[in-house]
């Protein structure tokens, strides 16, 4: 099944992707599958196990199923303060 | 209350908002941009946040601190954008009847905020590539992508 | 630096005096006059110091904190005289490269200042004799002497 | 031996004595003897074991010998902060 997903990029991922947000079609069933697909395509330096993921502005398990229209954010290691 | 600020934080105004007659103790933490990190001279910092989730997570941490410690007021603010040496990056103020609660909550807040809130820091150095802190891979500093 | 102040403490000016480019963390403690103590409504406080020894002992505590913890700057000021509810009685500011040192030194300073510096507090209540805190004997509140 | 001693009073002792300082003659050999003498005379409520003593603006042992011309301060339980 093909899903339409809205992805927003921050910090190092935004720079490595070269844009802040995009809407894409994917057959990935979970967030981790989607990251793997995008990492291969764009050469993101961080492996998935260094990231967290948010769906619809909440932290979410990597293996939670993606739903059509979801807003996905991959979260690099944070460094506030 | 947790919020993000795109413009300079005014600790005096935040402190004023915490004043109340029952409070006997007020502990504040200010995180300033240092002129060095891990031995490297720092020239400037950029903070970038994921605003929707940063505010939710920050408010969750504030609620946790209220549940765990006997406090009266909590205000926490984190800057975003470009900061220079000496600029205030984060400010946390806690009031309580007694100092034990104020110190414990203050420490909890800054530790959790730094560990959990989706905010990222890019350090700029003299004569070297800027680095996204904590984002290095394979033992190297993480480099920003070249300009496109 | 430790000093006594006969007039209101200005935390903004003290904080400003602590600023320096190496500092990444600043922890402040403010002790405000509460409107109650041990369940009794407080109307006003008088602080009285033994100035020569208070300053010596305060400076000793500051030197101890510098020796024990990795800090950059320390400023501590204690009010004397009559204070109203919400007035600032004591202010301690500590800067350090990292927050561990700043928190630890801040807590050490306020705990030791309260325990060791010869400063006394007289609380005034609505419709009751004022009391010198910690000076009660035989299980009763210590009463001030009647007016002479 | 009779010594001339300068005593300064603070807080509850100042109020119970009714003055801030006095110069007196005493045959007390130590600070604790002097306090015992003054407590009997002025009815100070606090026992010596609740006080500390300073001589010439330094904390001093209660049983240290008094010297002629010494400046003595009896220190009630402190309550800063």
User: What is the full per-residue pLDDT of chain B (148 aa) written as tens digits?
Assistant: 999 999 999 999 999 899 788 899 999 999 999 888 878 888 999 999 999 999 999 999 999 999 999 999 999 999 999 999 999 999 999 999 999 999 999 999 999 999 999 999 999 998 889 999 999 986 554 454 444 3
Residues 6+ apart with CB under 8 A from A79: B114, B119, B120, B121, B132, B133, B134, B135
d(C-alpha B117, C-alpha B34), whole Å: 21
Write the CATH number for D51: 3.10.20.30
pLDDT of residue B49: 98
- What pLDDT does B139 receive? 55
pLDDT at A22 over 80: yes
Dig out the tokens for C41 from the structure: 């409504």
Query: What is the Cα–Cα distance from B5 to C19, expressed in whole angstroms?
Result: 21
Distance, in Å, from the CA atom of A81 to the CA atom of C119, rounded to the nearest integer, reads 37
Inspect the structure and tell me whether chains B and C have 3 or more CB pairs less than 8 Å apart.
yes
Whether residue C30 is contained in a domain is answered as: yes
- pLDDT level of residue C97 (50, 70, 90 thresholds): very high
**pTM as predicted:** 0.92
Q: Distance between CA atoms of A28 and A39, rounded to whole angstroms?
A: 13
Cβ–Cβ contact C105 with D under 8 A:
no
Strands (E), chain B: 2-5, 25-32, 36-37, 40-49, 73-79, 81-84, 88-96, 119-125, 128-132
Tokens of C12: 């903004």
In the predicted structure, residue C146 carries a pLDDT above the cut 50:
no
C141 vs C109: which has the higher pLDDT: C109
Other Cβ atoms within 10 Å of B94 Cβ, number:
30
CA-CA distance, D36 to B139, in Å (whole number)? 72
What share of chain A in percent tops pLDDT 70?
100
Residue C113 has its nearest CB partner, among D15, D73, D80, at D80
Q: What is the mean pLDDT of chain D?
A: 97
Write out the residue range of the structural domain in which residue A39 sits: 3-75
Taking CA–CA distances from D60, the nearest residue in chain C reads C53
The radius of gyration computed from the CA coordinates of chain C, to the nearest angstrom, equals: 17
Report the Cα C106 to chain-centroid distance in Å. Answer: 12
Domain count, chain A: 1
Q: Which residues on D lie below 8 Å from C56 (Cβ)? A: 57-58
Which of C15, C17, C35, C16 lies closest to C87, judged by CA? C35
Is the CB of residue B21 less than 8 Å from the CB of residue C41?
no
Cα dihedral sign, B103-B109-B115-B121: negative
A46 contacts B134? CB cut-off 8 A? no
Size of interface A-B (CB pairs under 8 A): 87
**In Å, how far is A27's CA from the nearest CA of chain B?**
26
Longest dimension (CA), chain D: 42
What tokens were used for C141? Answer: 């509140």
Q: Is residue A64 part of a domain?
A: yes
Banded pLDDT at C21 (limits 50, 70, 90): confident
- CB distance C8 to C16 below 8 Å: no
- Which tokens in the block code for residue B74? 């909590």
Task: Give the C-alpha separation, D60 to B45, whole Å.
Answer: 53
Taking contacts as CB-CB distances below 8 angstroms, the residues of chain B near C19 are 32, 86
Query: What does the pLDDT look like over D54-81, one tens digit per residue?
Result: 999 999 999 999 999 999 999 999 999 9
pLDDT (tens digit per residue) in A50-62: 999 999 999 999 9
Orientation of helix C51-68 relative to helix C99-116, angle to 10°: 150
Nearest to B32 among C12, C24, C33 (CB): C24
B145: which chain A residues are within 8 Å (Cβ-Cβ)?
A: 15-16, 18
Q: What is the mean pLDDT of residues C60-65?
A: 98
Residue of C nearest to D20 (CA): C50
Say if B145 falls within a structural domain: no
pLDDT of residue B140: 55
Q: D80 lies in a domain?
A: no
Please compute Rg for chain B using Cα positions.
Answer: 17
Look at residue C126 in the predicted model and tell me its pLDDT: 87
Confidence of residue C144 (pLDDT cuts 50, 70, 90): very low
Q: How far apart are CA C3 and CA A67, in angstroms?
A: 64
Residue with tokens 């202010």: C91
Mean pLDDT of C137-145: 55
Kindly state whether residue A80 falls inside one of the protein's structural domains.
Answer: no
Domain-located, residue B71: yes
Decide if B146 is inside a domain.
no
Within a domain: A81: no
In a domain, D70, yes or no: yes
CB C123 within 8 A of CB C136: no
Q: Could you give the 3-state DSSP secondary structure of residue D8?
A: strand
Mean pLDDT of chain A: 97
Phi, psi (deg, nearest 5) at residue C61: -65, -40
Domain assignment of residue B142, yes or no: no
Number of domains in chain C: 1
C-beta neighbour count of B38 within 10 angstroms: 9
End-to-end CA distance of chain C: 39
Which CATH number does the domain housing residue C38 bear?
Answer: 3.90.1170.40
Q: How far apart are CA D25 and CA D69, in angstroms?
A: 10
Question: Is-contact B76 B94, C-beta < 8 A?
Answer: no
What stretches of C19-98 show up as alpha helix (H) in DSSP?
51-68
Mean pLDDT confidence for C96-112? 97
- In this predicted model, what pLDDT tens digit does every residue of A65-81 receive, in sequence order? 999 999 999 999 999 99
Determine the length of chain D.
81
Domain assignment of residue B111, given as a range:
2-137
Kindly state whether residue C50 falls inside one of the protein's structural domains.
yes
DSSP letter for C111, please. H
pLDDT at residue B138, rounded to an integer: 66
Count of beta carbons in the 10 Å neighbourhood of residue B23: 24
Residues B118, A8: C-beta atoms closer than 8 Å:
no
């Amino acid at each position: 099944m093909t899903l339409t997903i809205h992805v927003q990029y921050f910090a190092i991922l935004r720079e490595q992707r070269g844009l802040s947000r995009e809407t894409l079609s994917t057959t990935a069933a979970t967030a981790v599958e989607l990251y793997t697909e995008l990492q291969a395509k764009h050469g993101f330096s961080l492996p998935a196990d260094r990231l967290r993921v948010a769906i619809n502005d909440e932290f979410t398990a990597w293996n939670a199923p993606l739903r059509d229209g979801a807003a996905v954010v991959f979260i690099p290691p944070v460094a506030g303060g | 209350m947790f919020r993000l600020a795109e413009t300079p934080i005014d600790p005096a105004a935040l402190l004023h908002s915490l004043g109340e007659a029952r409070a006997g103790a007020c502990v504040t933490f200010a995180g300033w941009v240092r002129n060095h990190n891990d031995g490297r001279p720092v020239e400037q910092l950029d903070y970038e946040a994921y605003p929707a989730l940063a505010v939710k997570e920050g408010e969750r941490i504030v609620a946790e601190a209220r549940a765990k410690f006997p406090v009266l007021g909590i205000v926490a603010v984190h800057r975003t954008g470009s900061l220079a040496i000496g600029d205030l990056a984060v400010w946390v103020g806690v009031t309580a009847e007694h100092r034990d609660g104020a110190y414990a909550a203050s420490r909890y807040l800054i530790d959790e905020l730094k560990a959990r809130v989706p905010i990222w820091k890019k350090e700029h150095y003299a004569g070297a590539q800027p680095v996204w802190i904590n984002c290095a891979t394979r033992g190297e500093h993480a480099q920003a992508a070249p300009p496109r």
